[in-house]
Amino acid sequence: MNIPIVIFCGGQGTRMKEETEFRPKPMVLVGEKPILWHIMKIYSHYGFNNFIIALGYKGDYIKSYFLNEEYLIHDFTIKVKTGRKIIYRRSVEKHENFKITFVNTGLETLTGERLLRVKKYIKSDIFMATYGDGIGNINILKLLSYFKSKKTVGAITGVHPKSKWGLVIADKDGIIKNFVQKPLLNQYVNGGFMVFKKSFLKYVKPEETIEIALERLVKIRQLAVYAHNGYWSAVDTYQDLEELNKQWVDNPVWKIW
C-alpha cells in the first residue's frame, strides 16, 4: 500500500545520554536492530512500506545505516584501488521491502514544523505518522479502518502508559495488602501510530509541535482515538531500553511479523 508513514527521528533523546551521545535515539539497539527498524517492521507486516524519515540530530547516522545495510549483514570483498565490491549474499539474511525517503528537517526543529518540511513528499490523500521511539502490537489495518469509519481529519492511537512508580494497595483500615510494581494505568496517552487526511497539514504551523495541531482538531471535533489495549512501550530512558532488550529475548510481544 502506498500510504506514506512519516517517522519523527530528529530529537536529541537527552534523557538517555548513555546511548544518544553516540547515535540518534531511533537507532538504539533492541536485539541487533535499531528500534526504528522494529517500528518499520510493524507497518511493513500490514503492507505499508513507504516511509518518510524526518531527520535531525545525527541524521547522517540513520542515512548511513540504511545505505550500508547490505555491507553490515553480508560478507564482502572490496578492491580498494578501483572501489569494486563483491557481496556474498546469504540466503538467511533478507532485505526489507522498505522504500525510504530521508529528509533533513533541522537540528532543533519541533515536530509540527518537521511535518511541514516533509510535506512535498506526501503524495496521497491519507498519510500516517509516528514517533521514532514507540512500539506495540498495533493492528495498522484496524487503525486505518477505524479512522475511515470516523470520517475525521485525524486519529491517534490511545495506549495505556505504565506508572513510573510502584503503587501501594491498602485496605480500608490503612493496612497495606500488597505493592504493584509499575502497573498499567487506566487512562490513555497518545502512543503515536497516527492517521491523517492530508488536509491536516493546514492545521500545522511552523515552530510548533504536532500536539498543538492535534489540539486544534480537538476543538472542532475532528480527532478520534483508536483505543489499543494491547502491548505498547516507548524508549524514554536507558532503563526502558534495557527492559525492551530483556523482552526481546523472553517475550517480544510487538514482534508480529
Best-predicted range by mean pLDDT among 147-151, 161-165, 237-241? 147-151
Do 12 and 23 contact (CB within 8 A), yes or no? no
Q: Which of 216, 190, 191 is nearest to 201 (CA)?
A: 216
d(CA 43, CA 140): 7
d(CA 72, CA 253): 26
Q: Identify the domain containing residue 114 by its residue range.
A: 5-139+148-156+191-224+233-250
| Res. 22: pLDDT tops 90 | no
Give a yes or no: residue 29 inside a domain. yes
| Res. 165: pLDDT tops 70 | no
| Res. 51: pLDDT tops 90 | yes
Confidence of residue 187 (pLDDT cuts 50, 70, 90): confident
89 vs 214: which has the higher pLDDT: 214
The cell numbers describing 164, all together, are 513510573
pLDDT value, residue 91:
65
Give a yes or no: residue 174 inside a domain. no
Q: Which of 124, 185, 178, 127 is nearest to 160 (CA)?
A: 185
Give a yes or no: residue 77 inside a domain. yes
Number of structural domains found in the chain: 1
Give a yes or no: residue 161 inside a domain. no
Do 4 and 48 contact (CB within 8 A), yes or no? no
Give a yes or no: residue 9 inside a domain. yes
Torsion of CA 178, 182, 188, 192, to 10 degrees: -160
Confidence of residue 68 (pLDDT cuts 50, 70, 90): confident
CATH number of the domain at 240, please. 3.90.550.10
pLDDT above 70 coverage of the chain, percent = 96
Give a yes or no: residue 23 inside a domain. yes
| Res. 25: pLDDT tops 70 | yes
Give a yes or no: residue 43 inside a domain. yes
